[in-house]
Amino acid sequence: MLPFPKFDYAAPTTLREAVSLLCTPGARILAGGTDLLPSLKHRLFEPSLLVSIRRLTELREWEMLPDGGLALGAGLTLQQLSGLPALALYPGLQEACRTVATPTLQGTATIGGNILLESRCLYYNQPVGWRDAIGGCLKCDGSVCHVAPKGKGCYAAHSADTVPTLWLLGAQVELVGPLGVRLVPISALYSGDGLRPMLLQPGEILTRLLLPPPGPPTVHRKLRTRAAIDYGLLLVAASRSQSGYRAVVSAVGPAPIEVRGESPEDLAEAAFRAVQPLGTHAPAPTWRKKVLRVEVRRAAESLKEG
């Protein structure tokens, strides 16, 4: 049995109160908890306070925007989101929601939590004893990155299933913090530093996800060992417009990577050249690099057929 560390708990009823509680040093937000709570059991971090979004009912609302886009509360579960009739107009996003973990976890995990999923690594997401045996790593309790010992930082992989397709859709997030409200494009949310992968200010809460009106469809592909539970070994989203093909690739570094091409083959070559998978996952990086080319080409080809 793996116990939780000790922490305080608060379930504020207003966003204002939640923001103020989140400014407490060591505070963390608790949404679905499907990634946060296992991480606490593994002692990846030990927050002094968990601020629950349970009573912030506005985070579970959604509405159609005047321009035909959607505003989605960050506290909607992935299951609630993929079940919205309006989401059929965003097929890549719907598919991405349905490939996260398992149906039970999709009923608990939130879209906000997925967008802000902590970066992951073979050497980081492990029990305490496992990590102790290798002296920890740069991201937790250690000073060496086992993926790139001679590198300059932490390369833990961005692993949020919904993000590559949200990036292609041009989605934005609404962040509410002590200094007010700001809108940030998904494509500007990630720092590229595995130690602190999200460009959030202290106390900020992701309140809404804003989707533009439905445009060219996106497709989502997830490579993984098993068809359930596992995080992606590669995440690929692709779309096609008059100006050509675009793909966003993730699970290959601390931030997703966007590439463009004129044909599926061209796009696949662009991704192959731009992306260097590392040892953040169990399979060999050289294998993942080869498969990346195939995954990107297949994603783009499926758009061609449609």
Partner 1 sequence: MSSESILSLRVNGQPFRRLVPAERSLLDFLREDLGLTGSKHGCDVGDCGACTVLVEGQPRLACITLAVEMEGASITTIEGIGGPEGPHPVQKHFDQQVASQCGYCTPGIVLVLVALLRDDPQPSESRIREVLGSNICRCTGYTKILAAARAAVGAA
Task: Choose the stretch contacting partner 1; rule: CB under 8 A; options: 8-16, 172-180, 202-210, 244-252.
Answer: 8-16
Rounded CA separation 241/214 (Å): 13
What string marks each residue from 96 to 125 as x (binds partner 1 by CB under 8 A) or -? Answer: ------xxxx-xx-----------------
Helix axes 264-274, 285-305, angle to 10 degrees: 150
The 3-class SS string of 201-250 reads CCCCEEEEEEECCCCCCEEEEEECCCCCCCCCCEEEEEEEECCEEEEEEE
Q: How far is the CB of 148 from partner 1 (least distance, A)?
A: 27
Task: Choose the stretch contacting partner 1; rule: CB under 8 A; options: 47-55, 163-171, 182-190, 209-217.
Answer: 47-55
Of 227-246, binders to partner 1 (CB under 8 A) are 227-229
23, 28, 52, 71: which one binds partner 1 (CB under 8 A): 52
14, 16, 37, 201: which one binds partner 1 (CB under 8 A): 37
Q: Are 247 and 108 spatial neighbours (Cβ–Cβ below 8 Å)?
A: no
| Of 155, 151, 85, 149, nearest in space to 121 by CA | 155
27-30 and 244-250 beta bridge pairing:
unpaired
Task: Choose the stretch contacting partner 1; rule: CB under 8 A; options: 56-64, 149-157, 226-234, 256-264.
Answer: 226-234
18, 21, 29, 56: which one binds partner 1 (CB under 8 A): 21
18, 19, 29, 42: which one binds partner 1 (CB under 8 A): 42
Q: Are 254 and 189 spatial neighbours (Cβ–Cβ below 8 Å)?
A: no
Q: Are 274 and 306 spatial neighbours (Cβ–Cβ below 8 Å)?
A: no
What string marks each residue from 53 to 92 as x (binds partner 1 by CB under 8 A) or -? Answer: -x--------------------------------------
Phi then psi for 297, rounded to 5 degrees? Answer: -60, -45
Cβ neighbours of residue 225 closer than 8 Å, sequence gap 6 or more? 233
Does residue 6 belong to the site contacting partner 1 (CB under 8 A)?
yes
Does residue 10 belong to the site contacting partner 1 (CB under 8 A)?
yes
Binding residues for partner 1, rule: CB under 8 A, are 1-11, 21, 24, 30, 33-34, 37-38, 41-42, 49-50, 52, 54, 102-105, 107-108, 227-229
